[in-house]
Amino acid sequence: MRLKRKKITVVGAGFVGATAAHWAAAKELGDVCLIDIIEGMPQGKALDLMQASPVEGFDAQIVGTNDYKDTADSDVVIITAGLPRKPGMSRDDLLFKNTDIVKTVTENIAKHSPNAYLIIVSNPLDAMVYVAHKVSGFPTHRVMGMAGVLDAARFRAFIAMELNVSVEDVTAFVLGGHGDTMVPLPRYSTVAGIPLPDLLPPERIQALVERTRNGGAEIVNLLKTGSAFFAPSASAVSMAESILKDKKRIMPCAAYCDKEYGVGGYFVGVPVKLGAGGVEQVIEITLLPEEKAAFQKSVDAVKSLVQKIQL
Ligand SMILES: NC(=O)C1=CN([C@@H]2O[C@H](COP(=O)(O)OP(=O)(O)OC[C@H]3O[C@@H](n4cnc5c(N)ncnc54)[C@H](O)[C@@H]3O)[C@@H](O)[C@H]2O)C=CC1
Ligand SMILES: O=C([O-])CC(=O)C(=O)O
């Protein structure tokens, strides 16, 4: 018998997709298939990455394609296909165009990789996870969205910058949908185990919370032609890694919640255990009344967006 490497497909070979392929290959998570509708572009980027492999010393086959047959039997599929927003737009403005794209992509992926775990990145995130779940018919533990890892990473980076400490010692949690109503949780954010409220005055914490909420828009306004991609792609690949290596990391992800947090059957950002079984557990943490109210507002925003989707 011959053991096979794991296979990661990244759909959409744009900024987030190509960078995700880079992180996945550099970490030797498995072979990588990069697919896009633009002819030649995923092939070119895959070949370029293959040529980086001797320099960086990673062994992985990286293939670029426009044909879903090449994505067959993937273990994990990261979906980044879709339009990014431009300055002045909200993520929600992408709803209808990206619904069509994520629907087509998911149909093709489900056909060729019926056992894959799906990590959705396309925006508006929580609504696109709903689309991928409905269209694939996959069980909910195999469909999830990347947002909380990114939002928490931004919060962590801002905390480390503010306190002039190593990012390694900073943990943070962000709940809710990936939009203006997301809920960074200072009480559940720490530096080497010390709760953030013990280290910073409330007005400084509030400033970091606001910067985290606007983290995506801050970058969109600087780039002007697209949105963030280094941290988003690293975040998606860290979720893939936890699944492929059965690490069972606890990460904030857009996961299906029914009774959990009283959400009632939607995908929203909550703490989950990610392992070889995908979303192995949704962890319910105790929230103060004001945190609960903020989370509910965020869930309501996701619900009203999802209700506009026609598949
Ligand atoms: N969840 C999150 O936290 C984040 C989400 N995003 C979202 O990720 C998406 C991608 O962003 P970027 O990579 O910066 O955009 P991009 O424009 O650089 O890349 C998107 C790619 O998708 C491809 N594409 C379009 N329709 C397709 C289809 N039917 N099949 C296959 N490929 C298709 C395009 O040709 C393009 O290459 C956007 O919707 C963006 O809003 C971006 C950053 C963070
Ligand atoms: O801001 C955007 O449109 C992209 C995104 O979701 C993020 O960077 O958080």
141 with 152, same domain: the answer is no
Annotated binding-site residue? 16 = yes
1 is a domain residue: no
100 is a domain residue: yes
2 is a domain residue: no
| Inter-residue contact 229 to 15 (CB < 8 Å) | yes
Task: Encode pLDDT of 264-308 as tens digits.
Answer: 999 999 999 999 999 999 999 999 999 999 999 999 999 999 999
240 with 130, same domain: the answer is no
pLDDT bracket for residue 56 (50, 70, 90): very high
Average pLDDT over residues 49-72: 98
Return the residue whose CA atom lies nearest to atom 9 of ligand 2: 216
Return the residue whose CA atom lies nearest to atom 33 of ligand 1: 81
197 with 139, same domain: the answer is no
134 with 155, same domain: the answer is no
Whether the CB of 227 sits within 6 Å of ligand 1: yes
Q: What is the set of active-site residues?
A: 178
Percent of the chain's residues with pLDDT above 70: 100
Q: Which residues does ligand 2 sit against, CB inside 6 Å? A: 84-85, 91, 123, 150, 178, 215-217, 219-220, 227-228, 232
Annotated binding-site residue? 204 = no
67 with 165, same domain: the answer is no
Q: Which of the listed residues 92, 117, 146 is the one where a domain comes to its end?
A: 146
Task: Encode pLDDT of 225-264 as tens digits.
Answer: 999 999 999 999 999 999 999 999 999 999 999 999 999 9
| Inter-residue contact 91 to 179 (CB < 8 Å) | yes
| Inter-residue contact 17 to 36 (CB < 8 Å) | yes
122 with 255, same domain: the answer is no
Is residue 131 scored above 90 in pLDDT?
yes
- Please give the angle made by the CA atoms of 219, 224 and 226, to the nearest 5 degrees: 70
Average pLDDT over residues 109-133: 98
Ligand 2 centroid to Cα of residue 82, in Å, is 12
Is residue 138 scored above 90 in pLDDT?
yes
Give the C-alpha separation, 236 to 253, whole Å: 10
34 is a domain residue: yes
Q: Which of the listed residues 123, 146, 169 is the one where a domain comes to its end?
A: 146
98 with 214, same domain: the answer is no
Ligand 1 centroid to Cα of residue 9, in Å, is 14
42 with 106, same domain: the answer is yes
134 with 174, same domain: the answer is no
Q: What is the pLDDT of residue 2?
A: 85
82 is a domain residue: yes
Furthest-apart CA pair in the chain: how many Å? Answer: 61
CB atoms closer than 10 angstroms to residue 160:
17
Task: Encode pLDDT of 3-24 as tens digits.
Answer: 899 999 999 999 999 999 999 9
How high is the ipTM of this complex?
0.99
64 is a domain residue: yes
Whether the CB of 154 sits within 6 Å of ligand 1: no
Percent of the chain's residues with pLDDT above 90: 98
* Count: domains in the chain: 2
Task: Encode pLDDT of 202-216 as tens digits.
Answer: 999 999 999 999 999
Closest CA relative to residue 98, chosen from 81, 119, 77, 78: 81
Return the residue whose CA atom lies nearest to atom 8 of ligand 2: 216
Residue to mutate (ligand 1; options 23, 34, 36; most atoms within 8 A of CB): 36
Is residue 110 scored above 90 in pLDDT?
yes
For the CA of 146, the nearest atom of ligand 1: 1
Q: What is the pLDDT of residue 109?
A: 98
Query: 215: domain CATH number?
Result: 3.90.110.10
64 with 207, same domain: the answer is no
Query: 140: domain CATH number?
Result: 3.40.50.720
Average pLDDT over residues 129-155: 98
Q: Which of the listed residues 120, 146, 172 is the one where a domain comes to its end?
A: 146
The count of C-alpha atoms lying within 13 angstroms of the C-alpha of 33, restricted to the half-sphere facing its C-beta, is 22
Domain span holding position 107: 7-146
31 with 124, same domain: the answer is yes
Ligand 2 centroid to Cα of residue 29, in Å, is 25
Ligand that comes closest to the CA of residue 252: 1
Residue to mutate (ligand 1; options 107, 155, 227, 238; most atoms within 8 A of CB): 227
Please give the model's pTM, rounded to 2 decimal places. Answer: 0.98
Is residue 146 scored above 90 in pLDDT?
yes
Annotated binding-site residue? 91 = yes
189 with 279, same domain: the answer is yes
For the CA of 228, the nearest atom of ligand 1: 43
108 is a domain residue: yes
